[in-house]
Chains A and B, each alone.
Chain A
Amino acid sequence: QLQMQESGPGLVKPSETLSLTCIVSGDSMRKNGYFWGWIRQPPGKGLEWIGSIYYSGTTHYNPSLKSRVTMSVDTAKTQFSLQLHSVTAADTAVYYCARHSDCSGGSCNSVPGYFHPWGQGSLVTVSS
């Protein structure tokens, strides 16, 4: 059964870089049609997609965050990572990783769709 676990610092200073890693276990990251995504949720607010990456390194980023986001993947280590640069207090949130796909009946579309499953989330606070 696929499981995902976020890890990284819980506190980041303003203007610095937020770095998180998602460790994937229970399935291969190299399956066709499966992207790997990051979503965040500020305290008491809704969900915002940050970006997604394919095992080949192909990325899709949220246009509103694209200038500050870098994602990478290491299929050998079965993990993928998020860097968010030049953070401010507005970047304080619970950050989730999730598999991002559009699969049914054993086949997947080439473009990802819904998020399932999700990691448990990692709270990152931006404060000096």
Chain B
Amino acid sequence: DIQMTQSPSTLSASVGDRVTITCRASQSISRWLAWYQQKPGKAPKLLIYKASNLESGVPSRFSGSGSGTEFTLTISSLQPDDFATYYCQQYNTNSYTFGQGTKLEMK
């Protein structure tokens, strides 16, 4: 299986901050990576697919980049609604794996 490692596990930030979450794959996955946002008690919500494609309806303050083994999710100006847990997911192989999650909390 391809292992996905996110950092940091927890991130403290304030409204208006620019934040970046990193996801590393144990082997190259080209650009086959998605990002999700999950709020407590809710299902994950797709934000980005194929590393940098913004899902329809997702605010443009979210962006993704990277290829190969290293990827980033950036929120350009943090809004109150963005405090949540974020997961990356690779789909390079027929065994789909997620990162362990990054909890974005209010400073």
List A residues at the B interface (Cβ < 8 Å).
Answer: 46-49, 52, 60, 62-64, 96, 98, 102, 104, 111-121
Contacting residues, chain A, for B43 (C-beta < 8 A): 96, 98, 118-121
Q: Using C-beta atoms within 8 Å of the partner chain, give the interface range for chain B.
A: 20 to 34
Taking CB atoms, residues of chain B closer than 8 Å to A120 are 42-43
Task: Give the secondary structure class of B's interface.
Answer: loop
Q: Give a binary string over B19-49; 1 marks a CB under 8 Å from any A CB, 0 the rest.
A: 0000000000000101010000011111001
Q: Total number of A-B contacts with CB less than 8 angstroms?
A: 64
**Which 9 residue pairs are nearest across A and B when measured between Cβ atoms?**
A114-B34, A118-B43, A113-B91, A116-B46, A47-B98, A49-B96, A114-B49, A46-B100, A60-B94
Across the interface, B46 reaches (CB within 8 A) one of A104, A114, A121, namely A114
Task: Map CB proximity to A onto B66-107 as digits: 1 under 8 Å, 0 otherwise.
Answer: 000000000000000000000101010011111111000000
Give the distance in Å from the alpha carbon of A28 to the alpha carbon of B96 in the complex: 24
Distance in Å: Cβ of B71 to nearest Cβ of chain A: 13
Task: State how many angstroms separate the Cβ of A119 from the closest Cβ of chain B.
Answer: 7
Not counting A60-B95, A98-B43, A111-B94, a sample of 7 additional A-B residue pairs whose C-beta atoms are within 8 angstroms of each other reads: A46-B98, A64-B1, A96-B43, A104-B50, A114-B49, A118-B45, A120-B43
